Amino acid sequence: MRIVDARVIVTCPGRNFVTLKVVTEDGVYGLGDATLNGRELAVASYLTDHIVPLLIGRDARAIEDTWQYLYKGAYWRRGPVTMSAIAAVDTALWDIKGKVANLPVYQLLGGASREAVRVYAHANGLDVDQAVKAVAHQLDLGYTAIRVQSGIPGIRSTYGVGRDGRPYEPAEKGGVSEHRWSTEAYLTFVPRLFERIRSEFGDDLDLLHDVHHRLTPIEAARAGKALEPYHLFWMEDPTPAEQQSAFRLIRQHTVTPIAVGEVFNSIFDCQQLIQEQLIDYIRTTVVHAGGISHLRKIAALAELHQVRTGSHGATDLSPVCMAAALHFDLSVHNFGIQEHMPHTAETDTVFPHEYTYQSGFMHPGESPGLGVDIDEALAAQYPYDPAYLPVNRRMDGTMHDW
């Protein structure tokens, strides 16, 4: 079954998405997400200029061989651009294999290990009172695991929190914005935030918190320790992970569970973290970490060391990635939890999909393949619109040191 066409579709139904569509000689097609927030066109070019010419004429059924060919054949390995591009091909080929077999992808991955995929929601507020309201709102929607982020007194703008009443969206249009950051203000504030949330909602709810890599290891250890009374489900990305051994320091000081990996793109980014059991949840995603094939290898390594998966699922990962993630989550034994940040109605219309949400759980559906499509005519009506993630400086203007 030869690949006869592959093309990249860039669209911006409110935010930018890059999608690869691979078509076989039988007319079957598969989709893969290739969106790298703030660097979208680099992946689009990597695919169009360097990968598509290699795909034409290849056997669409040879998923593993194609993965190895693109990874090892390029000579230049790893990195977010390369691995997002390979992920798009891999995801599209799994979609095709499912359609040809007339089975949902999760059945090809070993079948369902659970009835449905537990997901967590976001509750964001400009201050603690707003965060409390946001938690109540997500509870009403049926979520039983909620990530809580709040604006910090003394810091004008906080990443992860919406502004002007708009829903939170990681990327900002109109140039790169700069935020200021105070570690002291944050470390003083964050235990008070969770003290209030627990006093309002009790102990039964699972609470998560994302540090977005803004602490050094010793500061992260202090945060984890200070948060212990509020027994978080996890503390996410406490410090950058280029130095995987840095997590030893955090581990020595706190029993707050640690989740990490949304910026990782290969198993080598988390090898030591997993093998030394320095983390509890690995958050690598289908789109940024080499596709379903590579994520399965990461999960298999994690399973040996009692590390569970907790895939990233923010709005900058397209519905194609969400569908792929849900098939992966449903099948993999050591699944932990899946992030769920619903897309806008505009995005959902461009990407019609079979996956559903109900009472804190999601399911990928029973359609053959991934169960997600793209309306190309509608996608064409939303041209690319550059947007960037904000940059942080310390209070005196120094670029941050994490």
Any idea which residue has 């691979």 for tokens?
A: 22
Residue 170 binds: one of Co ion, ligand EZ4, none (C-beta under 5 to 8 A by kind): ligand EZ4
Q: Are 256 and 235 in contact (CB under 8 A)?
A: yes
Q: Based on the shown chain and the rule CB under 6 A, indicate whether residue 148 belongs to the binding site for ligand EZ4.
A: no
Task: Candidates 22-30, 65-73, 284-292, 310-318: pick the segment binding ligand EZ4 (CB under 6 A).
Answer: 310-318
Looking at 33, 95, 280, 316, which residue binds ligand EZ4 (CB under 6 A)? 316
Q: What is the dihedral of CA 157, 160, 164, 166, to 10 degrees?
A: 170
Q: Within 59-78, which residues bind ligand EZ4 (CB under 6 A)?
A: none
Residue of 170, 224, 319, 368 interacting with ligand EZ4 (CB under 6 A)? 170
Tokens of 239: 């410090």
80 residue type, one letter = P
With binding defined as CB under 6 A, does residue 40 bind ligand EZ4?
A: no
Give the E-state strand segments of 92-204 in sequence order.
117-125, 145-150, 172-173, 178-181
Q: How far is the CB of 147 from ligand EZ4 (least distance, A)?
A: 7
Rg (CA), the chain: 21
Beta bridge partners of 258: 235
3-state secondary structure of 294: helix
80 binds, among ligand EZ4, Co ion, none (CB under 5 to 8 A by kind): none
CA distance 144 to 118: 9
Residue 285 and residue 334: Cα distance in Å, rounded? 15
Which of the listed partners (Co ion, ligand EZ4, none) does 37 bind, with a CB threshold of 5 to 8 Å by partner kind? ligand EZ4
Strand partners, 358: 361
Find all residues with CB under 8 Å of 237, minimum gap 6, and list them. Answer: 210, 211, 212, 213, 259, 260, 262, 263, 283
Cβ of residue 197: shortest distance to ligand EZ4, in angstroms? 18
Positions annotated as catalytic residues are 159, 212
**Least Å distance between CB 260 and Co ion?**
9
Sole binder of ligand EZ4 in the list 33, 95, 219, 262 (CB under 6 A): 262
Q: How near is the Cβ of 262 to ligand EZ4 at its closest, in Å?
A: 6
Q: Which of positions 205-264 make contact with Co ion (CB under 5 A)?
A: 210, 262
Q: Looking at the DSSP assignment, which residues form a beta bridge with residue 29?
A: 23
Nearest Cα residue to 311 out of 285, 292, 291 = 285
Check residue 314 for interaction with ligand EZ4 (CB under 6 A): yes
Task: Show contacts with ligand EZ4 in window 109-138 (CB under 6 A).
Answer: none
- Asked if 210 touches ligand EZ4 (CB under 6 A), the answer is yes
The option from ligand EZ4, Co ion, none interacting with 340 (CB < 5 to 8 A, set by class) reads none
Q: Where on the chain is the footprint of ligand EZ4 (CB under 6 A)?
A: 37, 170, 210, 212, 262, 312, 314, 316, 339, 389
> Which residues make up the interface to Co ion (CB under 5 A)?
210, 262
